[in-house]
Structure 1
Amino acid sequence: MTLPASEAEIEVPSAPVEDDSVVKVAGRSPTQLAIARFRADKLSMISLTFTVLVALCAILAPILVSLDVLNPYKYNQDLLTEDGVTPLGRLGGISWDHPFGVEPGTGRDLLSRLMLAITSSLAIALIATVITVVIGTVLGIIAGFSGGWVDSLVGRFIDLVLSFPQTMMLLALAAPTVLVIRNDLSSVPGLGVLESRDLANGLFVIIILAVFGWPPVARVVRGQVLSIREREFIDAAKLLGASRRRLYFKEVLPNVWAPVLVYVTLLVPAFISAEAAFSFLGVGIKPPTPTLGNILRNSVDYTSADPMYFFLPGVLLALIVVVFNLVGDGARDALDPKAHR
């Protein structure tokens, strides 16, 4: 029989010695990993910087106009040639006082008008995007989670909306719808004739973009929900007696925010282009209130007399759309590293 070792013979484990060569690795959440991947993409970071500058320009433009720093409505006939159309000087009248030149026929500062145009176009695009995403996300969650006849009904409704030609509906409904909206806005105190007209036209474009823009969002969200509803945490929430509302907005919605966020970054430039196209067709906010679309439409009449008047707004619109799309591509790659651009 072996006797137990004495207390002196018992080996006491020594305290662990810290080794400077051991690198401590801190765990990071999926959001932190996505941000790190996005920041590692130089092109996406450059695009994000330009996007922030565009947003700041849109925010500051109305403030600068109210402070009389920018004068998008001031006529400067002395900056035009004797024919009253062509700007004085080279490249459309570009100078230190007017870095982008002046508008042919009026002499209005083009930089001021473009900055205020960004405000109008971006506001319409953002509001339409929010409405589109809310409608598409809610219907996509309901259809994907409920299944059965609810899913079929929402799917057929999506097909019905997609079957309508958006541009033709826009042109056909423009006059009567805008008239109804203006009549409703006429009773609002403190709203002038010009403001009510611009607000009515802007609301009409937002409604058209949202009504015809939500079906793709609903389909994307529905596809995500079909896989999420079979997960264990959904079954656990059901066993705990969670209501439908909680299942939709507390359990499912946080797990579909990534594709929705990517879709938001792609919808904004698409709606900016759509607003410009609608204004170019004569539907939307009318001059003298500037938007990128109505400036481009007006510049077509002066392509030979002042090519810069057409070139600068066109390049600006193209840059805004491209950088927003690049930010969306970067967000998609960061949130889904398996996807390739």
Structure 2
Amino acid sequence: MGTVVDTMSASEATHCQLLCTQHPLCHFFMFSTQKYTDSKDRFKCELKQTSSGEPLAKAQIPNVTSGYSLLPCPDLYPNVAFIQSNYRLLFTPDALECQRVCTHDPDCSFFTWTSPQHKDQASRLMCSLMFSWKVPRIRRVELVDRATSGFNDKKDFRISNVITDCAVTLLSDTDFRQGSTLLSKEPAVSPGHCQTLCSAHPLCTHYTYDRPYCYILQRTNSASTNSAGLISGVPSRFCQQDSSWVTELYPGLAFPGSNIKMVNVDDVEGCRKACSETPPCRFFTVNIKNSNISVPLRGFCFLKAVLTVPAPEKIQEVENMVSGFSLRGQ
């Protein structure tokens, strides 16, 4: 028992748990299986919370599966270091205070704290805050004439909950890469997509879009160069971005990998519909039937998904270091 913060559809209990894990307010969930008595509630995933993070009461209900979010992870991990670029460094008296700082910083996903016994005196008591992408990213993008790709337009790619619309300022034929530190080079389908990625990175101050890549930059000086065809801009974190790029189709682009399902469809809209009706699907690529591609692959729609659960790039065993995760949502 608890307060329902959202109700969604899920294919199975593990899918419901993943939805709970990725919801900022969910502590635990209740999933009604396909054998649940009331047919209209089958496959229903209720995301819940309480002030304590624990259910107020527990009861046995046939054909219902319940469980907890996989996050937050309240444990601290001694002698463990999360190896990833940090975006903020500060000093705290202990690991718990470092975790509290991480929890109150909306960009922080996890941290590593260095104890007073660490051999490097300069890094003792250092709290390194690290971020993990909260928006789905395309792992790869390729220019393929026969393919068309797109996104699940029912998914939320917003960075901000503020309802005020952003002013759209795009600088055509402008390259900000000179005089900037490259934070990340990400596949992107449009300048709008690139702006979304820049806005999701806590250190991004500017971006340059050179199809099909988004250069996420931290400006070190005001230098820019004229470059035909390139588009640059700045992040928008405290207003509602134009998300029309999510509803567009992108002929000539393919998103290799990240496949969760392959279906045969008659056209591109059929593929988009299949993605929208498959909860984990974030984006898709379809091979057009009238293309020169080999007959067995014509008309096949590849549904794709990526996880946004916080995960360090690498974890190492290191003495006198403590790591952990943000407790945001607990």
What TM-score do you get using the length of structure 2 for normalisation?
Answer: 0.28
Structure (1 or 2) with the larger CA radius of gyration: 1
Greater helix share, 1 or 2?
1
Greater strand share, 1 or 2?
2
